[in-house]
Amino acid sequence: MIFKYNNIQIELVQGDITKQSDITAIVNAANAELLPGGGVAGAIHRAAGQELEMESHPLAPVKPGEAVITKGYNLANEFVIHCLGPVYGLDKPEDKLLAACYQNALQLADEKNIESIAFPAISTGAFGFPIKLAAEISLKAIREMMDKLKQVKTIRMVLFADHDLDIYAQEAKKVFN
Ligand code: ADP
């Protein structure tokens, strides 16, 4: 599913964040220590190789909402942007912190002249954010940033489960149409 706004394309796909070979920067749903761990972070570190951890770990700790950038090493992507999402029910205000993840990642991408970026559904796994609420917050945060971006031309949301893609598609119709 594709939407266009302000010369920027937003794509919603089902898939694996480590398999987005046509994208310049992928976003990691990171942990505070910027270590491999499980879920998205585990998959990205496995695919990138140990050099990723050697670059990322010294940049830790990061706070919820923050984003830092590293190279992509063995990934097909030039960069990884690591974002720490809020733990639902713990890091407050969780809506603003989740929005900040997306906005800080996009800002960083724009500063680095990155034209394409792919996000997983940050905080919706181990961090427990309800998927529908996360979809609404993240798509609105992306939409707000689209007025400010100068370099980023493609923003892809990569949902792991078909059901999650359906939920994001429903929310995207409200936000982008
Ligand atoms: P968090 O700790 O921020 O909640 P997780 O990695 O536990 O991050 O999960 C975030 C979301 O990413 C979940 O919806 C999960 O299903 C999904 N996910 C897990 N592995 C992958 C992957 N390889 N590619 C894309 N999405 C993934």
Tell me, what CATH number does 169's domain have? 3.40.220.10
- List, for residues 93-145, the tens digit of each pLDDT value: 999 999 999 999 999 999 999 999 999 999 999 999 999 999 999 999 999 99
Overall average pLDDT of the 11-35 stretch: 98
CA of 174 to the centre of ligand 1 (A): 24
- List, for residues 69-91, the tens digit of each pLDDT value: 999 999 999 999 999 999 999 99
CB-based contact 154:8 (threshold 8 Å): yes
pLDDT at 163: 97
For the Cβ of 16 lying below 6 angstroms from any atom of ligand 1, the answer is yes
Name the domain count of the chain: 1
| 2-5/8-14 β-pairing | antiparallel
User: Tokens 């394309």, residue?
Assistant: 9
CA of 115 to the centre of ligand 1 (A): 23
The number of the ligand 1 atom at minimal distance from the alpha carbon of 44 is 23
Residue 177 pLDDT grade (very low, low, confident, very high; cuts 50, 70, 90): confident
Burial class, 118, CB count within 10 angstroms (exposed 0-12 / middle 13-18 / buried 19+) = buried
Distance CA 77, CA 66 (A): 21
Residue 66 structure tokens:
């923050």
CA of 125 to the centre of ligand 1 (A): 5
For the Cβ of 85 lying below 6 angstroms from any atom of ligand 1, the answer is yes
pTM for the model stands at: 0.98
CA of 118 to the centre of ligand 1 (A): 13
Strand locations in the chain (E): 2-5, 8-14, 25-30, 67-71, 79-84, 116-119, 154-159
Domain range for 91: 2-176
For the Cβ of 124 lying below 6 angstroms from any atom of ligand 1, the answer is yes
